[in-house]
Structure 1
Amino acid sequence: MADLVKREDENGLAILTFNRPEKLNSLTVGMFRELRAHIAGLRKDDTIGCVVIRGAGKCFSAGHDLADIAEGEEVPSRGWHSETLRMMEKLPKPVIAAVHGHCYTGALEVALAADFILAADNARFGDTHAKWALTPVWGMSQRLPRRVGIATAKRLMFTADMIDADEAVRIGLAEYAVPADSFDTEIRALGQKILANSAFSHAANKRLLEATDGGPLDAGLQWEVMETEGTGPDMQERIAAFASKRK
């Protein structure tokens, strides 16, 4: 039986792929269970410095599987999906959501739990909770307004409109968009660019940004000074390598 979420490692980059393409990668409890296991493994894996989450086939994911919802899902505990995404969000290494094709509702909640979204130019985003008389419990109400602003979040949530990659970039939902035919190349190039920098700094910066997000500026500045994690174990080596290149 094929994995519902595949993991492939490439030179320090871990690529997690939703692998239910015949169902447009619609998200089930089984998929989340495998995603959670991968996240737990990645937290302890020092060979991996960057994580990409993406979808197999035509799209990232069409969202939460409506058939599963209608039948009544059996989840290990209340808030288990949200907890899983929070675990991913708090990984001490950069996490990129690489989105092509559909990225709707539950899938958008997954993508928003990554550090940022890279979009193919054929990506389409939307929150359809209101279309189905649902309310979010995976994080949409918290992460979407933090990413795009509360008024834009309300517009997207109230209208259930679908937006394309260019609009997603314009409102700050996605960082940038690339042609679909060069998407795979860009994913790996971006991953390697991140991996070239300090894993110590990446982890420390994620913790710093998390601790001070949304707080008063003066409190954040004080936190940055007083709670600094200092320098990484490879600082001298990196500086020496730079100096030798200049000579």
Structure 2
Amino acid sequence: MSAQVLREDCDGLCTLTLNRPDKLNALTVEMFQQLHAHLGALEQQQEHIGAVLLRGAGRCFSAGNDLHDIAAGQALPLPHLQARTIDRLARLPQVVIVAVHGHCYTGALELALAGDLIVCSRSASFADTHARWALTPLWGMSQRLPRRIGVARAREMMLLGRRYDGQRAAEMGLANLCFDDAQFETELQALVRELLAGSWFSHRATKRLLEETDGLPLAAGLAHEVFRNAGKGPDMAARIAAFGQASGRTA
């Protein structure tokens, strides 16, 4: 099996790279199998990996599902493999950053929506083209997209199939941040360092709180935060002490 998803670890960051650059990283069953396996390993490595960066090799993030796979009706080794994998990505304990350059269409957009943060280049291009191919969402588009950008804007994207560049994606709230193409890599790496400098314990606890209270009434959500809080992290004392030393004060 060729490596359609590459993994590289460095200083607490795991970078997963979709690796079919000659095919614009079109998503295959094999790619999802490999991604699913990587995510299973990462679930057990939260003390060593603080964040996961998902990106694409070559000219783009991904042009979407491989239409040859769809036409061939390739059997899945696990029922609903793609949807399960995307959900597994969304539920990782680590913060997930999705870096989008070039195309991010349909199935690739469903994959990107599993990220906690979506960062894009100005020339990135986002679209949902299910209707062009007489397909319907199966990997989460109808649920994650409206939760991210609102129902009205999601209807626009899903019904019209229009393309949106990186700047427009950021204005819509689809992307958290948009950087000029020339500065994309520099800004992305700075963002990663900023994120990893925060407490990984706090990041994991925040993700759990947001996930567990999604859709709850305000009163129930507030009660959940108070009574099911993860408490103080093991690095709290060291962080406060370091702050005191750096500022010349005692905490």
Q: TM-score range by the shorter chain?
A: over 0.9
Q: CA deviation at 1:2?
A: 4.8
Q: CA deviation at 1:89?
A: 0.7
Find out whether 1:190 has 2:173 as its counterpart.
Answer: no
Partner of 1:97: 98
Partner of 2:119: 118
User: How far apart, CA to CA, are the structure 2 residues paired with 1:73 and 1:105?
Assistant: 19
Partner of 2:79: 78
122-131 or 73-82: bigger deviation: 73-82
In the TM superposition, structure 1's runs of 4+ consecutive aligned residues that sit over 2 Å from their partners are none
Unaligned runs of 5+ in 2: none
Contact 1:13–1:192, Cα closer than 8 Å, also in 2: no
Partner of 1:33: 33
Q: Which aligned pairs between 1:5-154 and structure 2 lie closer than 5 A?
A: 5-45=5-45, 46-154=47-155
User: How far apart, CA to CA, are the structure 1 residues paired with 2:152 and 2:79?
Assistant: 29
User: How far apart, CA to CA, are the structure 2 residues paired with 1:176 and 1:163?
Assistant: 14
73-82 or 9-18: bigger deviation: 73-82
Structure 1, residues 90-147: CA drift from partner, whole Å, max 9, x if none? 1111000100000000000000011120001110000000111100110000100000
Q: Which aligned pairs between 1:224-235 and structure 2 lie closer than 5 A?
A: 224-235=225-236
Q: What is the total number of aligned residue pairs between the two structures?
A: 247
Q: CA deviation at 1:240?
A: 0.6
User: Percent identity at matched positions?
Assistant: 53
Which residue identity lines up with residue 107 of structure 1 in the other structure?
Answer: A
User: How far apart, CA to CA, are the structure 1 residues paired with 2:234 and 2:26?
Assistant: 42
User: How far apart, CA to CA, are the structure 2 residues paired with 1:168 and 1:236?
Assistant: 40
User: How far apart, CA to CA, are the structure 1 residues paired with 2:102 and 2:220?
Assistant: 41
User: How far apart, CA to CA, are the structure 2 residues paired with 1:203 and 1:218?
Assistant: 23
User: How far apart, CA to CA, are the structure 2 residues paired with 1:88 and 1:118?
Assistant: 16
Structure 1, residues 144-177: CA drift from partner, whole Å, max 9, x if none? 0000001110111000111111111111000111
Contact 2:33–2:81, Cα closer than 8 Å, also in 1: no
Unaligned runs of 5+ in 1: none
Contact 2:126–2:165, Cα closer than 8 Å, also in 1: yes
Contact 2:121–2:180, Cα closer than 8 Å, also in 1: yes
User: How far apart, CA to CA, are the structure 2 residues paired with 1:149 and 1:107?
Assistant: 19
Structure 1, residues 160-214: CA drift from partner, whole Å, max 9, x if none? 1111111111110001111122222222211111111111101110000001122
Find out whether 1:215 has 2:216 as its counterpart.
Answer: yes
What SS does the aligned partner of 1:9 have? strand
Structure 1, residues 197-247: CA drift from partner, whole Å, max 9, x if none? 111101110000001122211111111101111000111111011011111
Which residue identity lines up with residue 13 of structure 1 in the other structure?
Answer: L
- CA-atom RMSD, angstroms? 1.0
When normalised by structure 2's length, the TM-score is 0.96
Partner of 2:207: 206
Q: CA deviation at 1:77?
A: 3.0
Structure 1, residues 17-66: CA drift from partner, whole Å, max 9, x if none? 00100000000001011111111111112221111000001000000000
Which residue identity lines up with residue 213 of structure 1 in the other structure?
Answer: D
User: How far apart, CA to CA, are the structure 1 residues paired with 2:180 and 2:174?
Assistant: 17
User: How far apart, CA to CA, are the structure 2 residues paired with 1:116 and 1:191?
Assistant: 11
Find out whether 1:244 has 2:245 as its counterpart.
Answer: yes
User: How far apart, CA to CA, are the structure 2 residues paired with 1:246 and 1:209?
Assistant: 33
